[in-house]
Amino acid sequence: METKTYDVVVIGGGAAGLSGALTLARARRSVLVVDGGEPRNAPAAHIHNYLGRESTPPAELLAIGRTEVTGYGAEVINETATDAIAVAGGFEVSLAGGAVVRARRLLVTTGLVDELPEVPGLAERWGREVLHCPYCHGWEVRDQRIGVLATGPAAVHQALLFRQWSDDVILFQHTAAPPSAAEREELAARGIALVEGEVAAVEVAADQLTGVRLRSGEVIGRQAIVVAPRFTARAGVLSSLGLQPTELLMGSSIAADPTGATAVPGVWVAGNVANLMAQVIVSAAAGLSAGAAINADLVAQDTRAAVAAYRDPFTAAREREVCAQVLAPTRAVKQVAHHKN
């Protein structure tokens, strides 16, 4: 089986990955998007704060993105990249199905995993009445009875934020340290009640969240629950390249410069794997920036090769011959696809 070679393999087909792929495909680069089909926002009914796409269902946005990307000649496959290694001229990416593909550059946009507190019933309502971001879901729970589940130092801040959307907010101390005197004053000043004691479970009736049950047995009615998950980068492929996540207060992420370039030459990241707080529109913008940076890097490499060829025509002819042999299988596949269309 021939190992296909691309200018760029994009690992992850969410907003960041598809945006990067679109940028590169429009730059006439050969691009393969490898998507495992596990988008982080799948439980959510709609995306928000995306100008021109407000309230679009997440799956619809991805379907539109795939159509746009493939329309410019990029390929998208439903596969999982298991690991990658550096080889002469770029990288080899192993897929779960057994295939191996090569790339001159990699763009990794595998996102993150939301690790929720272990409270029965919480995970089942995630993305519906169990929320974490006021800018993603605050409008949808406006004027409702909101409970904030304290699990760390950001709980008071979360409660104060959600107070912007409702005047009925309760902070459940749960497993977090008690608020400081200054924080208690802030809560009292904003009319946010503090309930001590650990939350035992989330109460649900008729497929709707109705409240929380404390260890004491008391049930307090709520229509929405706010939590602060731990945001853990999906970094398996990056780890195989020697890139380990950086531990942060709220989770982990892969360090990169503003364009997404990592410490490993030829490897870029974009989206939530590098930015825990990025909403969909921010991830898409990061994919664009990374795609442009990757294309510029390839242009620089291509120009160096062209200059070397210009100076040494004999060597250049031999390099062109070798390159044609390497790319022949890829071109043949594209020609077959063209005739089929």
Rg (CA), the chain: 24
Cα separation, 142 vs 243, in Å, equals 41
Cα separation, 246 vs 255, in Å, equals 7
**pLDDT category, 320, cuts 50, 70, 90?**
low
The structural domains of the chain, with segments of one domain joined by +, span 5-114+230-340, 117-226
Report pLDDT for 62. Answer: 97
Torsional sign, CA 190, 194, 199, 203: negative
Mean pLDDT value of segment 204-226: 96
Lowest-pLDDT range of 109-123, 292-306, 325-339: 325-339
Please write the tens of the pLDDT for every residue from 4-32: 999 999 999 999 999 999 999 999 999 99
**Contact assessment for residue 156 and residue 171, using Cβ atoms and an 8 Å cutoff:** yes
Please write the tens of the pLDDT for every residue from 122-158: 999 999 999 999 999 999 999 999 999 999 888 999 9
What is the architecture of the domain spanning 5-114+230-340?
Answer: 3-Layer(bba) Sandwich (3.50)
Domain 117-226, CATH class in plain words = alpha beta
Q: Indicate if 117-226 has the same CATH topology as 5-114+230-340.
A: yes
Q: Which long-range contacts (CB under 8 A, 24 or more apart) does 171-174 make?
A: 171/147, 171/195, 172/147, 172/148, 172/197, 172/199, 172/212, 172/214, 172/220, 173/197, 174/117, 174/149, 174/150, 174/198, 174/199
